[in-house]
């Protein structure tokens, strides 16, 4: 290992990769909502690319930080920046993994006019025609409010989410975008 690898930064790097591993385990253990006859909204390619790409980049930079280092005159500064990249991309990967887990556990699905999803341990059912309002949040999610006050947070980057948005638009008689 290189001389710049001290206990505190090494612990931080190990913790970040441990969090990514926990996120992967959570993703693999999360149930998938495969219900015959229902269309399912789940994690899309963007989610998987973010999770696996960020983790792969953090792993590559970790390897360079741990075993390769730098021979330049500003090597110490380079290795500090490398450590920051490891932490930033590792935290991003772990957050993406846990978000994928959340999407899979939500189990958002629809058939005809009916939508079902799990939230806080209970199954929710809504008729698309009961859409009361739509708000585009700063997070990028669409908050769909129904007449009974239920709010569904819809991520349009999820697989089949745009098809659901079109179906809701047709049933509710209003555009979501």
The 10 Å CB-count burial string (b at 16+, else e) for 9-20 is: beeebeebbebb
Domain presence at residue 177 = no
Domain-terminating residue out of 51, 72, 106: 106
Domain presence at residue 70 = yes
Domain presence at residue 46 = yes
Q: What is the mean pLDDT of residues 84-103?
A: 98
Task: List all residues 6 or more positions away from 142 whose beta carbon is below 8 Å from its beta carbon.
Answer: 134, 135, 136, 153, 154, 155, 156, 165, 176
Asked if 101 and 116 sit in the same domain, the reply is no
CATH number at residue 141: 2.40.50
Asked if 138 and 52 sit in the same domain, the reply is no
Domain count, the chain: 2
pTM above 0.75, yes or no: yes
Q: Which domain holds residue 164?
A: 109-172
Asked if 121 and 66 sit in the same domain, the reply is no
Asked if 93 and 13 sit in the same domain, the reply is yes
Give the pLDDT of residue 34.
79
Over the stretch 36-73, which tens digit does the pLDDT of each residue have? 899 999 999 999 999 999 999 999 999 999 998 888 88
Domain presence at residue 18 = yes
Give the pLDDT of residue 133.
87
Domain presence at residue 2 = no
**Confidence band for 1, pLDDT divided at 50, 70 and 90:** low
Spell out the alpha helix ranges (H) of 69-158: 75-106
Asked if 24 and 81 sit in the same domain, the reply is yes
Over the stretch 135-151, which tens digit does the pLDDT of each residue have? 989 988 999 999 999 99
Per the DSSP assignment, residues forming a β-bridge with 123 are 118
Give the pLDDT of residue 83.
96
Asked if 122 and 98 sit in the same domain, the reply is no
pLDDT at 163 over 70: yes
Over the stretch 7-44, which tens digit does the pLDDT of each residue have? 999 999 999 999 999 999 999 999 887 788 999 999 99
Asked if 76 and 127 sit in the same domain, the reply is no
Domain presence at residue 22 = yes
């Amino acid at each position: 290992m290189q001389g710049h690898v001290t206990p505190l930064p090494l612990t931080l790097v190990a913790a970040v990769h441990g969090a990514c591993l926990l996120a992967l385990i959570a993703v693999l253990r999360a149930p998938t909502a495969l219900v015959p006859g229902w269309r399912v909204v789940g994690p899309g390619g963007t989610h998987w690319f973010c999770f696996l790409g960020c983790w792969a980049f953090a792993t590559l930079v970790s390897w360079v930080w741990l075993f390769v280092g730098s021979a330049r005159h500003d090597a110490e500064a380079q290795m500090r920046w490398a450590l920051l990249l490891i932490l930033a991309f590792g935290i991003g990967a772990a957050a993406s993994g846990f978000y994928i887990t959340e999407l899979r556990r939500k189990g958002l699905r629809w058939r005809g006019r009916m939508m079902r999803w799990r939230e806080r341990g209970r199954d929710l059912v809504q008729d698309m025609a009961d859409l009361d309002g739509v708000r585009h949040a700063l997070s990028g999610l669409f908050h769909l409010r129904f007449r009974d006050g239920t709010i569904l947070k819809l991520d349009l980057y999820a697989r089949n989410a745009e098809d659901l948005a079109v179906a809701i638009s047709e049933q509710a008689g209003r555009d979501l975008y």
